[in-house]
Structures are given as C-alpha cells and as structure tokens.
Amino acid sequence: MEKRVVITGLGVVAPNGVGIPEFTEAIKSGKSGIRFFQELQDLNFSCCIGGIPDISETLKSAYFTPLQLRNFNSSGILYGCIAGMDAWKDAGFTIDASSELDFDSGTIFGTGTSGVDKFREAIYQLDAKNVKRLGSTVVVQTMASGISAYLGGILGLGNQVTTNSSACTTGTEAILMGYERIKAGNAKRMLVGSCSDNGPYIWGGFDAMRVMTYKHNDSPEKGSRPMSATASGFVPGSGAGAMVLESLESAEERGATIYAEILGGAVNSGGQRNGGTLTAPNPVAVQHCITSAIENSGINADEIDAINGHLTATSKDALEIENWATALGRKGPDFPYVNSLKSMVGHCLAAAGSIESVAVILQLKEGFLFPNINCEDVDPTILAIIDEEKIPKKLINSPLNIIAKASFGFGDVNGCVIFKKYNH
C-alpha cells in the first residue's frame, strides 16, 4: 500500500534568517536579506547586491569539528549541513558520530555546483604545477554529491544518499524524489533539501547574461521586486533549506511533531519546444506540470488556498501568473493568494525551491501568508489576470489548508509540490 508522507523536521539557512525561529520572524515581518557587496563592485559586476546568510565562526563551530573546518571552503556544503542537521534534530533525532547505522533513513540533497571557491583555489594550485598541494579536501568539497556525502556521514544514514541537480528546480525536485521514495515504501525517512554557494564565482555567469538587476546597487533592499512593474531582473541569493520527510506510520510511532503533509506533485520538462529554450520555460509544459501535480494529489484546483511562486522578478513573472491562471482555471477574484519569497531573499538558485518550501510549510503550520515586499507597483499585465488583493503586501494571519509550490529552472525543467496542513 502507498504510504502517506508527512514533514516532521525543518531547517533553514537563508539570507534573512538562519534557523527556523529567526527565519519565521523575518518572513512574517517582510525583512529583506539583500545587501550591497563591495567585492562585486570591485570585480566590475553590474549587479553588486545579493543575499548571503550570516554565519558566525561560533555558529560554524557548533556544527563542525575543527578537523572538518580545516581547509574548508565550500559555502554550499556549510549551509546545507547546518540546515540538514537542524532539520534532523527538529524531527527529534540526535546527532552522534557513533550512532548505529539506520538503513531506513536516507537523504536526497541537491545543489547546482559544489564548492566553487574551493575549486578556484584548486585551479590556482594546479596551474602553478602544485597538484600535490591540493591535499585531501578538494574532491569531497567540489564533487556535486559533496553535500549528501557530508550529511550521510554526520547523521549515519544507511538508505539512499544522493544529490540531485536541476538548476533552480533542484530543491523542489529533491522534495518530490524523497516523497516518492517513502510513498513507495523504500525508505521510512528522507532528509531532503538543497543548497547553493554564495559569491561572485557562482553569480558571475548570470551577471554576464544580464538577467540580474543593475538598478538597485544604491537601494539593495528594494532590488528584488517580483510581480512589480519596475522589476528589472533577479537578485542573486544563497543558502539552504532542509526538511525531514517521513511516512505517517513512522511519524506516529515516534510521536513526532507533524508540520504538514505532502499530497503529491509532479516534475516534467518542456523539452525546449513551444517557446521553451535553455533559459525560458515552455508554457504548455509549465501548465502540464501544475495540472499533473493537482491530479496526482487527488484534489481540485479550487481547493488551493495559496501559491508560492517561482516569480524571480524578471519579465517572465507575468507569464508565470498566466500559466497558473490557465492551469488552475482561476482568475480575477477567484485566483488563490500568491507570494514570492524572492522579494526578501533574492533568487537562491539551487537552494530556492527548498528554502521557499520551508516558508510554505511554516505558513501552513502557523496559519499566515508572508507579505510580498517591493510590490507596491504591481505589473499591470499581472493585474489584467488576477485581482490585486490576491498579492498580499502585508502579513495576513489566516488558517490555510493547501498551498501549491512550484519552481522552474534552466534547461526548461519544472517541479510542483502540493502541501497540505496536517489534520490527521
């Protein structure tokens, strides 16, 4: 029999808050995590603002041993381990280096690229003909699966331990992959999530593509403007989101706190057809992904209370709203509430889907909708499709039952998850 899948633990490392209490407070109050970085300006970036989580040396040493931190230079793995370990503890497990191997628990923890700063260090050494000087730390910090390898060892996971990668869909896809594994009965618990490095070496390619905003270097907190008429490109972010997925049976047996339930979801690709390209989505496929997710979850489109969009603050935001309206068959006053966390944290790339899903689950658990900041001037193209009151600009406290979360990524790949408040 197919298992029901619930969420029993959360962890987050976001530009506007590290740890669940700080992050919850930040998203409720509409706190921006976007800052100006002199380093970007010195490197001649057009966009010199971004989102980097604030991690002190004291916090680092609470999660890593001095040996682990020796020659450690992978911000994505740092964020992913903190978020992953937090989620694991939040689910009621202890972290113990000599714990017994658990064949029923695994991890699918995604990333785009791993340890880009570490890789840069290594290339300088190699080009200076010092290959031996790389030591033992380069491979594990730069292999794509570095993050799942670190977490697998720290937590003693004996089920599947792997990393997925599908650009900005990565985090959402990881959740669905873990969900399917538990649903099929192949694992009892899966730690799922994703992480993304910070800084110029990960963001530079996007700056060169002119997809990041260059208009807000003097007003960083105003820079990330999803759904705004004056949106002028995304603001790059970084961090990690993590959650423990568990079969309902296992969660009940342990008496674990249940945050929410995953009803279902879908991933697909637009195949770079029908207007889809390496960088733009095929609208037919986006709509198909959303309708498949709804069908797969056994709900009706009109049961969706709110949407957590991909909505990056580029010219594609209006197209996304149109795709949601078409897929759900709901528009104007009938459209669900919609918000985008990117207004506060920027586009956290591979980490976006997981950080944003953590926000969705907090909204369901506590009954609120976080505000869209920087959206005082909603794009008129969007207002031709949906009513303005559907785009909350202030915190709304209200019980919610079902939220749809979608992410879309380069390569024309899509993911949509349906989360539901857990009511037994």
Partner 1 sequence: MEKEALITALKKIVKPYIQDEEAFENLSENTDFIKDLKINSANLVDVILDVEDTFDIIVDNESMEKMLTVKAALEIITTKLSEK
Q: Is 129 in the site for partner 1 (CB under 8 A)?
A: no
Among 21, 58, 67, 397, binds partner 1 (CB under 8 A): 67
Q: How far is the CB of 400 from partner 1 (least distance, A)?
A: 48
Single out the segment in contact with partner 1 by CB under 8 A; choices: 6-14, 67-75, 159-167, 299-307: 67-75
Closest contact distance (angstroms) between CB of 138 and partner 1 is 11
Size of the site for partner 1 (CB under 8 A): 9
Tokens of 376: 């005082």
Which of 41, 46, 71, 291 forms a contact with partner 1 (CB under 8 A)? 71
| Under rule CB under 8 A, residue 101 binds partner 1 | no
Beta strands in 135-232 (DSSP E): 161-162, 189-196
Residue choice 136, 255, 397, 424 for contact with partner 1 (CB under 8 A): 136
Sequence-distant (6+) residues with CB within 8 A of 330 are: 301, 302, 336
- Of 407, 400, 418, whose CA–CA distance to 262 is shortest? 418
Is residue 113 close enough to count as binding partner 1 by CB under 8 A? no
Q: How far is the CB of 319 from partner 1 (least distance, A)?
A: 49
Q: Alpha helices, DSSP H only, in 212-351? A: 248-254, 283-297, 317-328, 342-345
Q: How many helices (H) and strands (E) does the chain have?
A: 16, 15
Sole binder of partner 1 in the list 137, 165, 172, 196 (CB under 8 A) = 137
Give the shortest CB-134-to-partner 1 separation in angstroms.
Answer: 9
Beta-carbon contacts of residue 19 (< 8 Å; ≥ 6 apart):
11, 12, 13, 86
Catalytic pick from 48, 168, 195, 348? 168
- A 10 A CB-CB count for 377 gives 12
Q: How many CB atoms lie within 10 A of CB 336?
A: 21
Task: Scan for tokens 């260059």, then name that residue.
Answer: 214
Minimum distance of partner 1 from residue 153's CB (angstroms) = 11
- Indicate whether 128 belongs to the interface with partner 1 (CB under 8 A): no
Give the whole-angstrom CA distance, residue 386 versus residue 392: 12
Closest to partner 1 by CB, 125 or 291: 125
Q: Is 310 a catalytic residue?
A: yes
Nearer to partner 1, 68 or 326 (CB): 68
168 is catalytic: yes
**Shortest Cβ 146–partner 1 spacing (Å):** 14
Q: Does 57 bind partner 1 (CB under 8 A)?
A: no
- Is the distance from CB of 72 to CB of 369 less than 8 angstroms? no
Q: Where are the alpha helices (DSSP H) in 209-306?
A: 248-254, 283-297
146 touches 140 (CB < 8 A): yes
Of 44, 56, 66, 380, the one binding partner 1 by CB under 8 A: 66
Of 135, 185, 298, 399, which lies in the binding site for partner 1, with binding defined by CB under 8 A?
A: 135
Looking only at the bridges linking them, the beta strands covering 337-339 and 189-196 are unpaired
Q: Is 125 in the site for partner 1 (CB under 8 A)?
A: no
> Does the active-site annotation cover 288?
no
8 A C-beta contact, residue 343 and residue 372? yes
Query: How open is the CA angle 21-23-25, to the nearest 5 degrees?
Result: 70
Q: In the set 128, 132, 205, 278, which binds partner 1 (CB under 8 A)?
A: 132
115: left (phi over 0), alpha (psi -120 to 50) or beta: left
Q: Smallest gap, in angstroms, from Cβ of residue 136 to partner 1? A: 4
Active site residues: 168, 310, 347
Interface residues with partner 1 (CB under 8 A)?
66-67, 70-71, 132-133, 135-137
